[in-house]
Amino acid sequence: MTETTSGTAPAIPPSLPSATVPPAAASTGPPALSALATFDQSLRALAAHASGGVSAYSMASAWLDWAWHMTIAPGRRIEIALEAARELANLSQPVVAGGPDEASPVDHRFVDPGWQNQPFRAWRDGFLAAERIVAKSTEPVPGMQPGNARRVGFMMRQAMAIASPAHWPATNPEVLRKTRVENGANLVRGAKALKDELVRSASGETAAATIRVGIDTAATPGTVVYRNALMELIQYAPATAEVRREPVLIVPAWIMKYYILDLAPDRSLIRHLVQQGHTVFVMSWKNPTAEDRDNVFDDYRRRGLLEALQVVEAIVPDTPVHACGYCLGGTMLAIAAAVAAREGKSPFASVTLLAAQVDFSEAGELMMFIDESQVTALEDLMWGQGVLQTDQMGAAFRSLRSDDLVWAQAIKAYWLGEQALESDLTAWNADQTRLPYRMHSEYLRGLFLENRLTAGRFAVDGATVALKDIRCPLFVVGTETDHIAPWRSVYKIQLFTDAETTFVLTSGGHNAGIVSEPGHRNRRHRIATRRPGEPYVSPDAWIAHHEPRAGSWWPEWFGWLAERGSETLVAPPAIGAPDKGYPALMPAPGTYVFGR
């Protein structure tokens, strides 16, 4: 048992950044009261572990809220009944007459040609009609809490997925056809795959990867030039005889391994940057364990970004840095840039934010999991464990896209007996990380739950952080189908800054939209720059006035960086700065990237 679970840690999780509230502030009071509070939290931690960190109260209260307001809305109930009658009337026509299949919308779950034949077409159309009726019935009711409306709709979509004819072998024409052709061999392979997965899950093992970190991915030549208890800093070897004066420092999210930006060589954003003549540094975060439970949010700024900047300054002195933050790393980078500007410092030539939010009022479907009871349940779970485990975090993300990430994969693996081909992106996605207890508690409360950063209530070093203090140019990328950082939420940084801002909206999701190398098929993007002093344009008006361009957004960024740097090229800097205490430690990708 760790020290914190034995009663010496604060009984109540800290809710404010450590820079503004001393760690001991949460554990004041008589010893007897603290012991009783610790006892209560221990019980809550057991309950949270049993539920996987899900608050039963949050789920139950959402249903109660919906049921109560539906009870006093007979007009809404009549409206739903009329909608159901219309759906049934529409269903009867193609089913009875066997006419053209025009009533059912195109749906990726039903693309197999077998769904055009009876009785599969009837099952499909009936299910889609039921799905529309359920969606209608779970729309917000006047007086209902918006968060509860989203939660009820989410739970009903999960329940409807169980009933989908596409998800059961007896009603799926593709599964039946393959079973007939292979005389059931597909089911045998699927059963073996399920057994192997259950054994791995029980033993805590992971599937053997054929794509190797440091060889097939994370393979851009480089050197670890600094290491502390939180991160390693990698400096990449130059690929050109001369380089651009300003280096690029990449700040990935500590919720992911950094090599999402250094996948296979042709898909590596880092390699492309080096080939463009940039001196590139990247931070590789340590995968935290229970021993890191007391890492706070501001540690990632102070011991992470600020120490990385010190090393870069030693290697490339007297030169501003192009900083690039991805996801949570971008949120922290925006905070750091505002703090630096407040202190009269200007370490950044520019700031690039990839799928990163600063305002969380419209933070997408993840907000369904965020209220006081749910955050407390997660805090209790992490208090007992020291970290949020990868499987607990991954389950929440998979549930947001259960049709694609749960059901579709299960059908292929267990019913069709098809082994998914491993790619660099899927291998990276399986290489997950944990989150430390205190940091994640502060992040959920301070940013998601209370949205303090843009409300003017987020403090660092005793002073409020104001994003409008940022003066360097911003390059902000949102992705069209992002479930984690919706592009309209990413776009909102323009409400809180006065700096020149180039906004890019690219096709794809949170990861695939960012990994969008030149030559990638079917990629498109929109781009526009807002100059200081120009009026704010709403996201809907912005997208209406900017037509998509074919191709990757990467060349746009490369050109943008070149325009905001020195025109004169210089000789590449040395690897590390041994005379200043930063020697070359080992070849990239270092050690932290292998942390399990």
Secondary structure class of 530 (helix, strand, coil): strand
Give the alpha-carbon dihedral of 336, 338, 343, 347, to 10 degrees. 60
User: In this structure, are residues 442 and 16 in contact, taking their beta carbons and an 8 Å threshold?
Assistant: yes
Q: What is the DSSP string of 559-586?
A: HHHHHTS-SSEEPPPPSSBGGGTB---E
Q: 80-88: which pairs have CB atoms within 8 A and are 24 or more residues apart?
A: 80/133, 80/136, 80/137, 83/132, 83/133, 83/136, 84/133, 87/129, 87/130, 87/132, 87/133, 88/129
Please state the φ and ψ torsions of residue 349, each to the nearest 5 degrees: -75, -30
- Is 327 labeled as catalytic in the residue annotation? yes
State the greatest distance between any 2 C-alpha atoms of the chain, in Å, as a whole number: 84
List the structure tokens of 218.
């994370």
User: In this structure, are residues 301 and 247 in contact, taking their beta carbons and an 8 Å threshold?
Assistant: no
Residues linked to residue 436 through DSSP beta bridges, in sequence order: 387
The whole-angstrom separation of Cα 284 and Cα 250 is 9
The whole-angstrom separation of Cα 429 and Cα 451 is 28
The whole-angstrom separation of Cα 354 and Cα 326 is 5
The whole-angstrom separation of Cα 155 and Cα 174 is 27
Q: Looking at 218, 327, 351, 353, which residue is catalytic? A: 327
The whole-angstrom separation of Cα 352 and Cα 476 is 6
Please state the φ and ψ torsions of residue 565, each to the nearest 5 degrees: -125, 180
User: In this structure, are residues 147 and 140 in contact, taking their beta carbons and an 8 Å threshold?
Assistant: no
Report CA torsion sign: 105, 106, 112, 113: positive
Q: Which residue has the tokens 């209370």?
A: 450
Residues linked to residue 479 through DSSP beta bridges, in sequence order: 506
The whole-angstrom separation of Cα 53 and Cα 66 is 23
Instruction: Please count the residues of the chain.
Output: 596
The whole-angstrom separation of Cα 419 and Cα 422 is 9
Query: Which residue from 325, 300, 331 is spatially nearest to 493, judged by alpha carbons?
Result: 331
Q: Which residue has the tokens 């045998």?
A: 188
Other Cβ atoms within 10 Å of 486 Cβ, number = 24
The whole-angstrom separation of Cα 445 and Cα 418 is 42
- In terms of Cβ atoms closer than 10 Å to its own Cβ (0-12, 13-18, 19+), residue 229 is exposed
- In terms of Cβ atoms closer than 10 Å to its own Cβ (0-12, 13-18, 19+), residue 338 is buried
Active site residues: 327
